[in-house]
Structure formats: C-alpha cells, structure tokens
Amino acid sequence: MDLKHPISRFAKTVAGTTLVILLPLFAVYSATLSGLQPDMLDIQTKNYAKIHAASYQKVIQKSRESAVQVVSSGATPGYFSSATGTYFKAYGSYFVVTVMHALQGPCAFTTLVHNEKIYQCIKYVVVDAENDYAIIQTEEIEGRTPIQIPKDLPKNAQWRYSYSVLNKVVYSGYPNTIGLLTLEGTIAGFAGTQYLYMNSYAWSGSSGSGVFDAKGKFMGYVVAIDVGTTEFGPQVLQNVVLVAPTHKVDWTKVITGAK
C-alpha cells in the first residue's frame, strides 16, 4: 500500500492551515512595527498637551500660529539681526508687529520668514524708538493664522486681569534662530509704570515675541532680558524678561499709514 499520497495531502493541508494562521499574525506584526515609526510632521502639527484645558490649548495655538521670524540686514555686508514678530490682520491688510531695535536697515532689507519661505516687507507703517516697536505691512503669509486687531487686544477691565501678579502667560519665538519655541511664564512684577517683568526665559532672537494671557489676549511683546550686577560684574538674568504692554502701540497707524 502506498502511504505517501495521504501523508503528502495531510502535509499540504497542515501547511495551508498554518499559512492562513500566520498571515494575520504577520499583518499585525507589520502594523506594530509601522507604529514604532511615527510621522514626525503629523506629530508636530497642532499637537498641544491635553493636560491643559481646551481654552488654554487655544491660547498656545494662537501664540504659535501667529509667530513669524523677522530678519533685517544692515548696510554692512553679512550683518543682520533676527527677531520675532506677531502676525496680525487689521482692516483687510496684513502686518507684523515686532521690536524696533531688530530693524537694521530699510524695509527693502527686511523680510518675514516662516517655514523657510520668505515674505517681503511692503512698508514700515510705524517705527517707534521710544516704545521700541515697529509695525511692518506685509503680504499674506502662508501657514500662519493672524490674530485680529483690535479684537484680540485686552479692553478696559481685562487689562487688570492681564497684569495680575502670577497670572500665567504664553509666548512663542525664535531664540538663536533655532526654530519656533513656545514657553510659559508668569507675571512677576513691574518696571515702574511702563513695563512689566515676566518670569520665564528668553534669549537673543526672542525680542518681539507676542505675549498672550491665559484668556488669549495679546497683552505684550518681549523687549529684553534683565541684567543684574554682582561682585563679579554684570550678570544676565535670562529668566527675568522685560515685556512692553501692547497699549503702548499706536494701532491707529494701520489705518492711516498702510498702503
């Protein structure tokens, strides 16, 4: 009697059954491996910590999505400055507000940068040396969401809330041109009646960053970090940040001075 034929059929049946079982397992294994390789661009897009309330997540989003890098060149070849600005829309036109000390030359030598794309300065609407701010008219910036002026400014009693000591604030900027960073802070005190101190961190390139309170109001912009004096000489206090309130800005100029 020939036993090879039944055994061969049995072996084929076992092999076929095994293959049917292994195929789903292989698919699960492949899916598991692919899950270990995240899409970094997707992760970085509008991904805010869920430990915060939804309203506070919107503040973080507003801060990040309105921040742009401001690059300005001077007359000396190879010399330029990098700062941060807040992109806003007012009365149908687009603007960026930043610090005046970041502007090294005329409008033609100043650009706004986001996601490695360059947007031209159309006009310096206002340059205020006393209050250290400038408003730059620009074209619409792709991938940025402008805040709305005057809607997003504090009004009346809202200023009292924005200025309250230990009130939480958020700002986003481009320190040392390393990319967009978002930091939290708290109101620590006041520099006379003109400025306030924020307990946070800032470095070169953070100047001009828009500061938003926990309700999403654009209440100030980063001007500088404090410098103290010790027995060893000047000491930079990177965690004591000088903030100028946005009520120092003459917003009416975007109506009278824009092209």
β-pairing verdict for 195-199 and 233-245: antiparallel
CATH superfamily of 65-148+251-256: Trypsin-like serine proteases (2.40.10.10)
Burial class for 76, CB neighbours closer than 10 Å (0-12, 13-18, 19+): exposed
The predicted model gives 59-67 an average pLDDT of 97
Average pLDDT over residues 37-64: 85
Q: How far apart are CA 25 and CA 22, in angstroms?
A: 5
Q: What residue ranges do the domains of the chain occupy? A: 65-148+251-256, 158-247
Cis omega before residue 150 (within 30°)?
yes
**Tokens 């899916």 appear where?**
31
User: Using an 8 Å Cβ cutoff, are 170 and 66 in contact?
Assistant: no
CA dist 89 and 146 (Å) reads 6
Q: According to the model, what pLDDT value does residue 8 have? A: 60
Q: How far apart are CA 174 and CA 205, in angstroms?
A: 5
CATH (one of 3.40.50.300, 3.40.50.970, 2.40.10.10, 3.40.50.920) for 158-247: 2.40.10.10
Please tell me the least confidently modeled range out of 48-57, 75-84, 130-139, 155-164.
Answer: 75-84
Confirm whether 65-148+251-256 and 158-247 share one CATH topology.
yes
